[in-house]
Amino acid sequence: MFTNQLSPEEARSVILENIKRTEMEEVDLVDALGRVLVERVKSEIDVIPFNNAAMDGFAVKREDLLNASEENPVVLDVMEEIPAGSYFDGNIEHGQCLRIMTGAPVPDCTDAVVKYEIVDYLDGDGMPGSKVAFKACPKELDNIRSRGEEVLAGGTVIEAGEILGAGGIGYLANCGVSKVKVYKKPRVGVIAIGSELQMPGEPLKPGCIYESNSVALSATVLEAGGIPTRIGIVEDDFDVLCDAIEKASKEFDFVVTSGGASNGDFDFIKGVIDKKGELIFTLVNMRPGKCQTFGLVNETPVMGFPGNPAAAYCGFEILLRPALLSMQGHKNLEIPTFEATLVGDRKKRDPRRMYLRGFVEKDAEGNYRFTPAKNQSSGIYGPIQQSNCLAIIPEGEPEGGKVLDGTTLQIIPFGVLEGSVI
C-alpha cells in the first residue's frame, strides 16, 4: 500500500502491473475492428490469386507491337472477350489480341494490357471479330497486376499484436479469412456510490441528485473497448458496499466505482477494499481528482473514482483507459500529446498537476492555441462536452500564482488512441 500521493504516471504503472490480459475469443472480421490479434495470420492462397488486368482494354503479345507508332499503327484481330470472373485457357497467334476487362485473368499467352482509350477501332466495335490499331508499344507487363502481389501462400498477412484497422480487415477478407482470434473485451462493472443519488424517472427527492457518473463512465468504458455493466446505486453504507464490491469482483474483469473516495464520514470505498482485499493507493497528484483509489478484491482490480464528475472523468482518461487497453492486448500505451500555447493567464494556487478542460485550435499562422473552458469546477460535465482536449499544467506553484498567457502546454486530444503518432 502506497501511503504517499502518486504521480499520475506512477499510478498508471501501478494499475498496469496489477491487471491481467483478457482471454481470447474468435470473432467475425468486422467485430475485430480496433482489436488486437492474438496470433499471426498467414494466407493460404496467393493474393491476388492470378495475374489480372488493371485496365479495361486488350491483352496483347508485346512482340507484335514493337514497331507500332503514330505513323505506323499495328493492326490486330480481336479474338475473344474475357470478362472478370471468367477464364481464357486457349491460345492466340501473332497478329491477334483479346478484349479483356479489369480484374479478369490475363492469359499466359499475352504479356501486356493496352487500355481502350489509346486503341483505334478500324473494323467493328472492338468486340471479337473486330480489327483494332495500336499506335505505341506497351511496356512489358503493362497494366498487369501480378499474382501474389500482396502476399504469397504461406506468407504473413497480419502479425500477432497488431491492432486491426479497416485496411487489415479488408486484407484478411481478401485472403479468404472470415474469423480471427482477438483478446476479449474486458467486462467492467460500474457502481455509483452515494445515498444522495437517484435514478431518472421520478422527481428528485429533497437533497438528492440524478445519478450520472455511472452513465458517463460506462460511455468511457465503451470508448476504451470494454463492455460496461451499470450495477446501480449503492448507498453510503459500509456493509452494503462490502457486499456489492465482493459480488462484482467475482462477476467482472474490472470494477469501477464513483463517490465515497474522500475522507468524509460516509466515504467507504478505501475501507471496503482494505477489508475485502488489498488497498494499493488512495491519492494521485492530479486536479481534478486527487482521491483516486485502487486495489484488488478477489484478485479483480477495483478503481474507486472520486464522486465529482470531472474528477471521475479525468481519472478514467488518465489512469484507467491505458489499463483497459492493455487488458485487450494493446502494447503502446503512451498518451499522445502535442504542444499549444495558453490563451490568457490562468490562476494556479493548488500545487497539484492540473488537467484543464478546453478547446485547442490552429490560429491563422498554423500554431496551436489552447483556450481553457471558463468553468473548471470538478462538479460539472458541460465543459467536458464542449472541450476537445485536456491541457496539462505541471505540478508546483508558478511565480505569482498564475501561468501566463502564451505559455507552452502539453495537450491531450480527445479521441486519439494511445500510441498514435500525432
Ligand X SMILES: Nc1nc2c(c(=O)[nH]1)N[C@H]1C(S)=C(S)[C@@H](COP(=O)(O)OP(=O)(O)OC[C@H]3O[C@@H](n4cnc5c(N)ncnc54)[C@H](O)[C@@H]3O)O[C@H]1N2
| DSSP label of 137 | P
Query: Which one of ligand MOO, ligand X, none interacts with residue 213, CB within 5 to 8 A by kind?
Result: ligand X
The only residue of 189, 259, 322, 329 in contact with ligand X, by rule CB under 6 A = 259
> Please, which residue, 290 or 321, has the CB nearer to ligand MOO?
290
Does residue 307 touch ligand X according to CB under 6 A? yes
What binding mask, one character per residue, do residues 213-242 give for ligand X by CB under 6 A, x or -? xx----------------------------
Strands 131-134 and 119-123: antiparallel
- What minimum distance in Å lies between the beta carbon of 290 and ligand MOO? 4
CA distance 132 to 121: 5
In the bound complex, what is the minimum distance in angstroms from residue 287's beta carbon to ligand MOO?
Answer: 5
Per the listing, cell 470538478 goes with: 378
Q: CA 375, CA 385: separation in Å to the nearest integer?
A: 12
Does position 285 interact with ligand X (CB under 6 A)? The reply is: no
Cα separation, 5 vs 292, in Å, equals 10
Single out the segment in contact with ligand X by CB under 6 A; choices: 113-121, 163-171, 248-256, 288-296.
Answer: 288-296
In angstroms, the CA 47 to CA 172 distance is: 10
* C-alpha 65 chain-centroid distance: 51
Distances from the Cα of 271 to the Cα of 21, 196, 367, 400, angstroms: 27, 20, 48, 39
Q: Which residue has the cell 493460404?
A: 44
Q: Pick left, alpha or beta for residue 171 (phi over 0 → left; psi -120 to 50 → alpha; otherwise beta).
A: alpha
Site for ligand X in 358-397 (CB under 6 A): 378-379
Which of the choices ligand X, ligand MOO, none does residue 196 contact, using the CB cut-off of 5 to 8 A by kind? ligand X
Window contacting ligand X (CB under 6 A); options: 46-54, 67-75, 138-146, 284-292: 284-292
267 binds ligand X (CB under 6 A): yes
Binding site for ligand MOO (CB under 6 A): 287-290, 306, 308, 311, 378
Partner interacting with residue 259 (select from ligand MOO, ligand X, none; CB below 5-8 Å by kind): ligand X
Kindly state the helix (H) or strand (E) to which residue 171 belongs, with its residue range: helix 166-174
Among 170, 264, 351, 400, binds ligand X (CB under 6 A): 264
**Bridge pairing between strands 209-210 and 197-198:** parallel
Q: Does 196 bind ligand X (CB under 6 A)?
A: yes
The C-alpha angle with vertex 227 and arms to 307 and 329, in degrees rounded to 5, equals: 105
Residue 264 interacts, among ligand MOO, ligand X, none and using kind-specific CB cut-offs from 5 to 8 Å, with ligand X
Using rule CB under 6 A, residue 51 touches ligand X? no
Query: Residue 258 in contact with residue 306, Cβ under 8 Å?
Result: yes
Residue with cell 492469359: 107
Q: Assess 286 for contact with ligand X (CB under 6 A).
A: no
- Calculate helix-pair angle for 269-276, 238-251, nearest 10 degrees: 60
Q: Min. distance of Cβ 263 from ligand X in angstroms?
A: 6
Task: Tell me the closest approach of the beta carbon of residue 21 to ligand X, in angstroms.
Answer: 29
Residues with Cβ within 8 Å of 247's Cβ and at least 6 positions away in sequence, in order, are none
Residue 166, CA distances (Å) to 35, 60, 161 in order:
11, 37, 16
Residue 342 dihedral angles phi and psi, to the nearest 5°: -75, 135
Q: Cell 495470420 maps to which residue?
A: 41
Give me the least distance between CB of 402 and ligand X, in Å please. Answer: 20
**What's the min distance (Å) between Cβ of 337 and ligand MOO?**
21
C-alpha cell at 409: 502546454
Q: Which is nearer to ligand X, 226 or 288 (by Cβ)?
A: 288
- Is residue 281 within 8 Å of 292, Cβ to Cβ? yes
What residue 260 binds from ligand MOO, ligand X, none (CB within 5 to 8 A, per partner kind)?
Answer: ligand X
By beta carbon distance, the residue nearest ligand MOO is: 311
Binding range to ligand X, per CB under 6 A, among 210-218, 223-231, 327-335, 382-390: 210-218
Residue 189 contacts ligand X per CB under 6 A: no
Cβ proximity to ligand MOO, 88 vs 313, nearer residue: 313
326 binds, among ligand X, ligand MOO, none (CB under 5 to 8 A by kind): none
Residues at the site binding ligand X, with contacts judged by CB under 6 A: 192, 194, 196-197, 209, 211-214, 258-264, 267, 289-291, 306-309, 311, 378-379
